[in-house]
Amino acid sequence: MVDKTYSAKPDEIVRRWWVVDATDQTLGRLATQIAVILRGKNKPMFTPHLDCGDYVIVINAEKVRVTGNKLVQKMYYRHSGYPGGLTETPLKDQLRRHPERVIGDAVRRMLPKNLLSEKVIQKLKVYAGPEHPHKAQNPEVLTLRS
């Protein structure tokens, strides 16, 4: 007997909404688990060339935790496009000014580098505080592994 590989169809995909509280969660471990849910790898119907994942809402992004000396040593870089236009921002300042970007960048960099990841990352909603505007979607609380 030959078993055939199952491939999900786009109309068979059911999406759910999840809420994750980032309070005292380690940044890297949080980002890997969110990336798995966004891609849909936690579902038995995962198909690599389709977006099978769920929506993830992250609250309290400002309270995320990092280990070691990363608050001072980890840098975020951006370039204006002009000579001498490189700007370095330590993680400590980035968390203070734009905590949403810290989690968003960490998750984005854990997704595959292809066109599908652009669709996948749009399902991630990150908020610095405990409030979010997605109450109408009835998100379920997701408890992550520590």
Q: For 23, which DSSP code?
A: T
Q: For 136, which DSSP code?
A: G
Dist. CA 129–CA 114, nearest whole Å: 31
Examine residue 3 and state whether it is found in any structural domain, yes or no: no
Examine residue 31 and state whether it is found in any structural domain, yes or no: yes
Question: Domain range holding 128?
Answer: 16-66+99-141
Q: What is the CATH number of the domain that holds 118?
A: 3.90.1180.10
* Average per-residue pLDDT for the chain: 95
Examine residue 85 and state whether it is found in any structural domain, yes or no: no
Q: What are phi and psi of 58, to 5 degrees?
A: -110, 125
Q: Is 37 in contact with 56 (CB distance < 8 Å)?
A: yes
Helix (H, G, I), strand (E, B) or coil at 107: helix
Q: pLDDT confidence of 146, banded at 50, 70, 90?
A: low
What would the pLDDT profile of 52-64 be if each residue is shown by its tens digit?
Answer: 999 999 999 999 9
**CB 2: neighbour CB atoms within 10 A?**
3
